[in-house]
Amino acid sequence: MAEMIALELFMRKDEILEPVETIYFGGGTPSLLNSFELELIFNSIYKNYSVNSNPEITIETNPDDLTEFKIKEFKSFPFNRFSIGIQSFFDEDLKLMNRAHNSEEAIQSVKIAQENGFENITIDLIYGGQTTSDMMWQKNLEIALDLEVPHISSYALTVEPKTSLAYQIATKKWDEIDEDRQERQFHQMIQKLTEHDFVHYEISNFGKEGFFSQHNSNYWKGKSYLGVGPSAHSFDGKNRSWNPSNNSIYLKNVAENKLVNNVEVLSENDKFNELIMIRLRTIYGLNLSEIKRQYPEEFLSDFLIEIQPHLDNDLIRNENDIFYLTEKGKFLADGIAASLFRI
């Protein structure tokens, strides 16, 4: 697979002309790549692309993969940011989510990374699950704070179709998701983390100053990006494209020097809707001048009509023509954004 990824990087080198600011090894289990495979991919990146002198280079990892040997192996490559899929520091939560690691491995994975010189670490945490009481969620946050990680990404538990959890809920082995619990724990998290100098800079992301995710921030700013490998998505500022998800089809295409991907041409409405969704999720807000500058007058007039109920209900506030979600509105971010979309 690494050979094909390196080949795809070569084949698509003309798609990215500006210097690369961030490199992200994500999706699946990139921490299972060995030294030879990592070297092959990095060589292809640096040979075929202009890379900034100090890029943010992240690798997603699972706690059960992060042995002392593996961490030392990563240290020989230019990774400078670790994303660890902790999800919870409680075994009952991890069993519910069907995770392979246990609570002790979760804690040790962070400590091993820190002991080997990695400071820029982000962890994922999941709240609002059937096994996660408010007290347990509070303890999860306290453990994360005690570990002194500078960035936390946190999401409400969702039930995906055709999963074990979906089946267990359907067969009454587990209760349905409690949205009131999820909202409580969302606000509990905001209070706890902001008390400890974390900035809530995006709905699901909290970072200490200097540790915001540059990769994700570029996405929220609407910058273009190149994704390689099976299922990887790309965006060139106008269109979205994605590679085949089937490994065999992907490998066959690249081996034959074919770039066969699905392409979605974004309409004016699509671009507007994405602007609304992305900007409202961040602390930077949605600047009215962006709509005035980029879209027809009717987009602006319709937007001002649609947003008024949210202003009246204290879900959004307007400061100098920049719209921000209020504390009350943040948990409802997706629904609020959808209500402002153009259909």
Span 274-328, pLDDT tens digits: 999 999 999 999 999 999 999 999 999 999 999 999 999 999 999 999 999 999 9
pLDDT tens per residue, range 259-286? 878 899 999 999 999 999 999 999 999 9
Please count the structural domains in the chain: 2
- The answer to whether residue 237 is domain-embedded is no
Closest CA to 310 of 301, 291, 323: 323
Confidence category of residue 27, pLDDT binned at 50, 70, 90: confident
Checking if the pLDDT of 28 tops 70, the result is no
Phi, psi of 196 (to 5 degrees): -110, 30
- The answer to whether residue 262 is domain-embedded is no
The predicted structure's pLDDT at residue 229: 92
- The answer to whether residue 199 is domain-embedded is yes
214 and 323 fall within a common domain = no
- The answer to whether residue 243 is domain-embedded is no
24 and 102 fall within a common domain = yes
* Residue 185: domain span: 17-220
- The answer to whether residue 119 is domain-embedded is yes
Contacting residues for 85 by C-beta, under 8 A, at least 6 apart: 60, 61, 62, 63, 99, 123, 124
At 138, is the secondary structure helix, strand, or coil? helix
pTM value is: 0.92
pLDDT tens per residue, range 41-96? 999 999 999 999 999 999 999 999 888 899 889 989 999 999 999 999 999 999 99
Checking if the pLDDT of 162 tops 90, the result is no
pLDDT tens per residue, range 117-156? 999 999 999 999 999 999 999 999 999 999 999 999 999 9
293 and 212 fall within a common domain = no
